[in-house]
Amino acid sequence: MTAFELAHVFCHNGAGGNPTGLVLDAGALSTDEMQALARQCGHESGFVLSTAAHGEADFRFRYFVPRHEMEMCGHATVGALWLLRERGRIADGVYRIATLSGIVTGAVGARVEITQPLGEFSNADRFRGAILDVLGIGPAALAVGAIENARTSRTKTLVPMASAETLHAMTPDFARVEQLCTALGSTGLYPYAVVSTDQGLFEARQFPRGSGYPEDAATGIAATALASALLKGGRITDPAAGITIYQGRAMGALSEIRVRFARDERTGAIAQCWVSGAVRTE
């Protein structure tokens, strides 16, 4: 079977990050073979395919977790672009990637950044009791504010926590996360805490729906959903500089995700966000 390369994406000071299995030449693989490789890897995995049927893009990527295919995976996209450059397959520049969620733009340079659309939101407060129950916390553990679903490429449920200490101390009932997320129409619970709005620092955790593992060390798509919600709520002081989200601390795999916003050159309105982070290989 084709071998994958393992990369860790959204690292902090050379450690942590979310592992992803990457196959740079996946054009000959069937869907079943990609799924089998993701199960073997045990992590979200990215596959780079031929662009022959996708003339609007430079690459086509597919993404799998051990249990199913995903429309988009932020850290696998960042990791694959970084690895393509490291292997001499691409130079620094801007690339368009076809995914099941649409076209993603990647900028390869000192860091790798990828685009995501601005978030779309819906209130999820009617699930507040069930969310508290599954997370194993009481009402006092929450910060003031609505629980909401936020979608960039995928829908995440944002849960505002009263403090980073409370965030990291929680012990969810992982066996019930999938059922709750299905009811929410979400692909993961993303509780978060404010560290400093002035410095643009936040902490978060992700508990994914049905991925085959209970928690993610870093989640780029969830980070862009959270950043969009914070922007909407007026909690980002400098959209162009953006914010930093630390994730994975409770897992002993501290990771660092950066999200910034870009404006439309014609209208001056904020049009999209960019997510980036450091990458390392084993």
User: Do 255 and 188 share a domain, yes or no?
Assistant: yes
User: Do 172 and 235 share a domain, yes or no?
Assistant: yes
pLDDT at 282: 76
CA–CA separation, 61 and 38 (whole Å): 14
pLDDT at 50: 73
Domain count, the chain: 2
Task: Determine the distance from the C-alpha atom of residue 166 to the mean position of all C-alpha atoms in its chain, rounded to a whole number.
Answer: 22
Final residue of a domain: which of 69, 97, 117?
117
CATH of the domain at 144: 3.10.310.10
Residue 11 sits in which domain range?
Answer: 5-117
Final residue of a domain: which of 99, 117, 135?
117
Final residue of a domain: which of 82, 117, 152?
117
User: Do 128 and 245 share a domain, yes or no?
Assistant: yes
SS3 per-residue string spanning 134-175 = HHCCCHHHECCCCCEEEECCCEEEEEEECCHHHHHHCCCCHH
User: Do 126 and 113 share a domain, yes or no?
Assistant: no
For each successive 10 residues of the chain (282 residues), what is the average pLDDT?
88 96 95 95 92 76 94 96 96 96 94 96 98 98 97 97 98 97 98 97 96 93 98 95 97 97 94 97 84
User: Do 228 and 211 share a domain, yes or no?
Assistant: yes
